[in-house]
Structure 1
Amino acid sequence: MSPRHAKPLFASKKKCLTGLVAGAVTAGAAAMAVATAAPAVSAQTPTASRPAAHQAGQVPAPRTGKAAKHARPVNDNPHIKVHTVAEQKAKRVPTAADVVKLAVSQVGTSENATGGSKFNQWFMTTPYAKAGAARDGGSVNDYANASWCDMFVTWVGDQLGVKGMGGDAFTPSHAKWFISQGRWGTTPRPGAVVFFSWNGSGVDNIDHVGLVIKDNGDGTIQTVEGNTDDAVKVRTRNTSTVVGYGYPEYPQ
């Protein structure tokens, strides 16, 4: 039997307890003798060390010295949650403007000589990659040099903790996810995920994905996209190439 599972030493504890009881009896007898010999002191009579109220048990004795220093704070009610500034910021729901700002901050990021990017490397470490590999066959390593436009969109949403952004590397599957969530439409909105098809229509023919910056109001939209000319860039796209838009859950 290992020491960790050894039985507790009850015998020694019993021995200690016996000694304590004996000591208490002896001390009690001595105390009675002193009490008998000493004159009675009224509970209302103050002494040099404590005022009468403290002796009577009406007011707890004040803490002094180190005891006072370590006294519990007044506002330690366990039913009152006090949030720090950091916690309050952490609970802030990301907006469409936050998404566009982060995405645009990556403009100029390009892929490496083998066709991958920092977004590929990140994606391979996520549950999105494992789920995609299980669904489509192959392995997580197959994403190392794969097209990364949707990995970029997924990265932006994940970095900010955007609810309802979804995540994938295969654009048709990502679009179908938005449809299944009831968050799919044809209106360009800032921060929306925009899906393109160059040679046809329909979700199964989606070729590319990006994020809407704004609707230009002239039949075009301004977007920020990954894996366009092997980099992250801001583009102006004709809405005739748009299959649809996925709408993350931004605050109103």
Structure 2
Amino acid sequence: MPSMAKHRPLRAPKITYARAALGAAVLASALGAHATAAAADSAGPAAATGHSAVAPQAAAHTRKAEETQVNVTAQQVLAMARAQVGTSENAYGGGTKFQKWYADSQRAAETIARDGGTRAMYLNAPWCSIFVSWVGEHTGARPQVGWDAWTVAHAKWFAANDRWGTEARPGAVVFFSWGGSKSLDAIQHVGFVVKDNGDGTISTIEGNTGNGKVEERVRPKSQVVGYGYPQYAS
């Protein structure tokens, strides 16, 4: 999991990914990835936040979607996401209700078992995937939106459940790689699609942008790895 755009300065005591609890070697790799993301953001407004995420457990974290059907529409999910616009992290990269919710959740125990670390590490962890998960939880759509703190794992969950593709649809969960890679292991950031603008860009709502906020953005499709499709109600 990962993220940023006028990237907040890296602070050595803080953990860059929810899965960064794996240890010093992973942390060193994460710091390098954040530097790359910060450079991408400096290229212009379209190249924002930075989530880097490639962990040794990449192939071992997928699990089947819950069978629960949800009576939630894409527009309800987007309305909840939009209502959070402006929510900001503190000077340490934490302090959001999204991070606190995840740290206290059942899913945190599962991702700690997968990635190592402690619940407290999620309190200051980059939170773009946590934001997406929070919106799913608080609209009742979590069985379809999924929940994870690591962008790569979140994307692979969609892929494992045959809910992955290349079409921008309202309410889809969009995964980015600033360098244009189409590999799921290269995913650096995640948000919700609001619409396809028809000009090679998409409008999005994202948490943990490089400004450390929930924001509405316009992104080039060239930075999109792919889309996860929750099975919303019609």
How high is the TM-score relative to the length of structure 2? 0.67
- Structure 1's 92 and 197: CA in aligned 2 closer, same or farther, altered over 3 A? closer
Q: Which runs of 5+ in 2 are unaligned?
A: 1-68
Structure 2 Cα separation of the partners of residues 197 and 150 of structure 1? 14
Equivalent-residue separation in structure 2 for 1:96 and 1:225 (angstroms): 15
SS of aligned partner of 2:133 = helix
Query: Once the two structures are superposed, what CA deviation does each residue of 1:46-75 show, in whole Å capped at 9, x if it has no partner?
Result: xxxxxxxxxxxxxxxxxxxxxxxxxxxxxx
Q: How large is the Cα RMSD of the aligned pairs? A: 1.3
**In the alignment, which residue of structure 1 is the partner of 2:40?**
none
Counterpart for residue 178 of structure 2: 198
Cα distance change on mapping 1:92 and 1:168 into 2, 3 Å: closer
Q: Secondary structure at the match of 1:187?
A: coil
Identity across aligned pairs (percent)?
56
CA distance in 1, matches of 2:109, 2:180: 30
Q: Secondary structure at the match of 1:174?
A: helix
2:157 is the alignment partner of 1:177:
yes
**Amino acid in structure 2 at the alignment position of 1:144:** L
Distance in 2 of aligned mates of 1:150 and 1:157: 11
Secondary structure of the residue that 2:144 maps to in structure 1?
coil
| Alignment CA distance shift 1:238-1:135 (3 Å) | same
Q: 107, 112, 130: which is aligned to 2:85?
A: 107
- Offset, 1:200: 4.6
Task: Give the counterpart of 1:248 among 224, 230, 233.
Answer: 230
Larger gyration radius, structure 1 or structure 2? 1
The match for 2:47 is none
2:220 paired residue number: 238
Q: Which amino acid is the alignment partner of residue 204 of structure 2?
A: T
Tell which has more relative contact order, 1 or 2 (C-alpha 8 A, sep 6+). 2
After the TM superposition, which of the residue ranges 114-123 and 222-231 deviates more from structure 2?
114-123
Q: Is the 8 A contact 1:111 1:118 kept in 2?
A: no
Describe how 1:207-218 pairs up with structure 2 within 5 A. 207-218=188-199
Structure 1 runs, 4 residues or longer, greater than 3 Å off = none
Structure 2 Cα separation of the partners of residues 92 and 167 of structure 1: 15
Given candidates 145, 160, 163, the residue that maps to 1:165 is 145
Counting only pairs closer than 5 Å after superposition, residues 1-252 of structure 1 correspond to structure 2 as: 93-116=71-94, 117-162=96-141, 163-201=143-181, 202-228=183-209, 229-252=211-234
The structure-2 alpha-carbon separation of the partners of 1:218 and 1:158, relative to structure 1 and needing over 3 Å to count, comes to same
